[in-house]
Amino acid sequence: MTDNEQSRPVKTAATSLGILERLKTGGPLGPTALASDLGLAKSTVHRHLKTLEREGFVVLDDDGYRVGLRLLDFGIHARNQHQLYEVAKPKLEELAEQTGEKVWCVTEEQGRGFHLYGAAGKHSVRTPAREGTRSYLHQLAAGKAILSAFPDERVHEIIDQHGLPAKTPHTITDPDELFEELATIRERGFAVNREEIVPKLHAVGVVVTDQTGYPVGAISISGPSNRLKGDRLTDDLADLLLGAANEVEINLNFS
Amino acid sequence: MTDNEQSRPVKTAATSLGILERLKTGGPLGPTALASDLGLAKSTVHRHLKTLEREGFVVLDDDGYRVGLRLLDFGIHARNQHQLYEVAKPKLEELAEQTGEKVWCVTEEQGRGFHLYGAAGKHSVRTPAREGTRSYLHQLAAGKAILSAFPDERVHEIIDQHGLPAKTPHTITDPDELFEELATIRERGFAVNREEIVPKLHAVGVVVTDQTGYPVGAISISGPSNRLKGDRLTDDLADLLLGAANEVEINLNFS
DNA sequence: AAATTTTGTTCGAAATGCTCGAACGTCAAT
DNA sequence: ATTGACGTTCGAGCATTTCGAACAAAATTT
């Protein structure tokens, strides 16, 4: 499963997806700008755009082409496939209300973490994470909680596939260190993140498993480091999360 | 702008998108099932799937290929491009709380209506609409409200492009009837939907325009026909919506 | 307002790279 | 152990994509 080298990819399809990707991050663009960015001929990009437009994946307005809401339809569908979303959602809102912080629900796909849903408490701070955001598991409290529930073998696969890229000086970049951390997490039941992805941002995360012990995702609470520290972080909030995760796990068995 | 006949579409890209579409509606599937559904060779579908998988647009699990959460990333991004979403959201939650019904925010793209966000009140009923759902504008209260703010010329374009397909016996299928309805909506300021998309479901909708009068979307309240009728529908709820839409319009000018 | 530059769009021709079918490997079921 | 169904790989023909150049349309400048 470590093999991600594809024998013969469909280059034409990859080109279309590359255009979508570029439009997502690069705002509205025209054929000329896209062509030079992607190293393609104007006419080629134009043809792709018109095809994508026909299907609603991109739309044309005054400023150029943008990603279309057709993708929201697909995205919401992708999210609804995860039972965790619907079950965890009300619990997350409750936690956000109680703690005043930002509460997330994260799941794993292809060795990466995806933010399924976030509930904002009264005092929650703005972070780079949005719904749909894809992150490296080892950079997230929720992600490390998920990793702690995988067999070592699977964690090795993930490291092989994605590495352990750093986001801040505190990010865990050494496999051995990560495995030690995962042992600690398994022991005490929750994961802690101290400025490992965003400076001055801390978080706690707890895994949510199904009946077989497989991690279907994790929930986390994040906030400013000076508010999420000491006992509040490792006792109060961790306990709150452990209870919530436990409830979610039970509800998952009956849906 | 009525020309949607594309000179030379990129067939290969369209094939990939067709696979995505089929996976969205048809649940997890394997290469063989997809190939026979789409009239393609197994090996062709396989190659497309591997390409899509590499980009995270589909994922493979025990039951077959599914649409991947990478699409949620794109979809959320598409939604965030519409300022209306963020501005209307808190107001929708407020309305849902007040009325107990389901409240939606809809916007237009390519002559179709897209459900940006829905807030559920205590007594809200389950309908086919989800976030991201694409509908015909003439079948929605919010959609008709949007149409009422377009110039007739644009409405004609939309009718030419998409027709006026029926969902129930009450759906408006005649252009003249639609234009009469739009005149009424412009006059009184709100649109009403009586079982035009779902039997026994009624709704009220009010357009939200920008400074130039262009409809950036609409908000609506929907619920069972026996609860949303008479004065409650055309007075109480309509007034509530008109006030909310007005507030949203003002807030849109400062964001 | 004319001219010029930039951008969007169309089209032909060459060759890339996609599609198909057949064969192989793999797994589950009988 | 054997059969069948499914996923995967690979070669070869040719359908399709890609590029570049030319044209049309805007936008920007003089």
**Distance (Å, rounded) from C-alpha B91 to C-alpha B117?**
11
Place of tokens 């998952």: A252
CB-side neighbour CA atoms (13 Å) of B127: 30
Per-residue pLDDT tens over the stretch A7-66: 789 999 999 999 999 999 998 999 999 999 999 999 999 999 999 999 999 999 999 999
Q: Which of A125, A131, A115, A136 is nearest to A220 (CA)?
A: A115
Looking at this protein, which amino acid is placed at residue B97? E
Task: Quickly give A77 CA vs C28 C1' distance in Å.
Answer: 31
Best residue in B74, B80, B108, B161 for a mutation probing chain A (most A CBs within 10 Å): B74
- The reply to whether A11-74 and A82-252 are identical in fold is no
Task: Quickly give A42 CA vs D30 C1' distance in Å.
Answer: 29
- Our separate counts of H helices and E strands in chain A read 10, 8
Q: Which two tokens stand for residue B108?
A: 């237009």
CB-side neighbour CA atoms (13 Å) of A195: 9
**Distance (Å, rounded) from C-alpha A186 to C-alpha A144?**
10
Per-residue pLDDT tens over the stretch B19-60: 999 999 998 999 999 999 999 999 999 999 999 999 999 999
**Distance (Å, rounded) from C-alpha A230 to C-alpha A237?**
10
Place of tokens 């009424």: B184
Q: Which residues of chain B does A52 touch, with a Cβ-Cβ cutoff of 8 Å?
A: 13, 17
Q: DSSP character for B29?
A: B
| Beta pairing, strands B64-67 & A64-67 | unpaired
Domain ranges of chain B: 11-74, 82-252
Per-residue pLDDT tens over the stretch A96-143: 999 999 999 999 999 999 999 999 999 999 999 999 999 999 999 999
**Distance (Å, rounded) from C-alpha A31 to C-alpha A76?**
28
Q: Which of A57, A69, A163 is nearest to A111 (CA)?
A: A163
CB contact under 8 A, A132 and B51: no
Which residue's CA is nearest to the C1' of nucleotide C7?
Answer: A32
Show the DSSP H helices in A150-237 as ranges.
152-162, 175-188, 230-231
Looking at this protein, which amino acid is placed at residue B92? L
- Is the CB of residue B65 less than 8 Å from the CB of residue B59? yes
Q: Which two tokens stand for residue A255?
A: 């849906």
Class of A11-74 in CATH: mainly alpha
* Residue A210, pLDDT above cutoff 50: yes
Whether A11 sits with its Cβ under 7 A from any strand D atom: the answer reads yes
**Minimal C-alpha gap between A235 and chain B (Å):** 33
Element spanning B153, H or E: helix B152-162
pLDDT, average across residues A219-234: 93
Per-residue pLDDT tens over the stretch A72-81: 999 999 999 9
| Banded pLDDT at A177 (limits 50, 70, 90) | very high
Q: Which residues of chain A does B49 touch, with a Cβ-Cβ cutoff of 8 Å?
A: none
Class of B82-252 in CATH: alpha beta
